[in-house]
């Protein structure tokens, strides 16, 4: 029997859940830089966008009663990887501390919002 749990922050409905857990594997939809009201923050600032995106991932992980140490795989999407990779990797390593999940950094032409530089999706596990 499958044990399924979903999480939605109810800020908008794009037809997907923000998080979906089945039998202890948690799939995290692409997160970006928005506040608790859904307002985009950090326009023109990759550091602010990255830190807020990671904060949003933490809040989603909390809903499943796990932490960043449960991240198994992370995909980081950047619209300008040539300019932003180094700072994003530095912030990401600071965020992870000693934990090292598998992952990919992918350059893309654009994301959902024109001002958006970064989006992060992930897979995590429950203990």
Per-residue HEC secondary structure of 81-96 comes to HHHHHHHHHHHHHHHH
Residue 28's closest CA among 124, 127, 125? 124
- pLDDT value of position 20: 85
- Kindly tell me if the per-residue pLDDT of 3 is higher than 80: no
Rounded-to-integer distance, Cα 22 and Cα 30, Å = 18
Query: What is the rounded average pLDDT of the residues 76-102?
Result: 97
- Kindly tell me if the per-residue pLDDT of 12 is higher than 60: no
- pLDDT value of position 16: 67
pLDDT digits (tens, 9 = 90+) for 100-119: 999 999 999 999 889 999 99
* pTM of this structure: 0.91
Rounded-to-integer distance, Cα 40 and Cα 36, Å = 10
19-23, 55-59, 93-97, 102-106: least confidently modelled range: 19-23
Indicate the average pLDDT of the chain: 90
pLDDT digits (tens, 9 = 90+) for 55-77: 999 999 999 999 999 999 999 99
- Contacts with 37 (C-beta within 8 Å, 6 or more apart), sequence order: 11
β 102-107/118-125 pair status:
unpaired
């Amino acid at each position: 029997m499958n044990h399924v749990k979903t999480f939605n922050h109810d800020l908008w409905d794009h037809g997907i859940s923000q998080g979906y857990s089945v039998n202890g594997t948690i799939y995290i939809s692409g997160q970006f830089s928005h506040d608790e009201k859904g307002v985009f923050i950090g326009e023109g600032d990759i550091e602010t966008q990255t830190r807020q995106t990671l904060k949003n991932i933490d809040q989603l992980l909390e809903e499943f009663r796990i932490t960043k140490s449960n991240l198994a795989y992370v995909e980081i999407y950047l619209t300008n990887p040539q300019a932003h990779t180094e700072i994003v990797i530095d912030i990401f390593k600071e965020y992870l501390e000693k934990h090292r999940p598998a992952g990919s950094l992918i350059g893309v032409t654009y994301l959902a919002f024109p001002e958006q530089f970064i989006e992060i999706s992930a897979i995590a596990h429950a203990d």
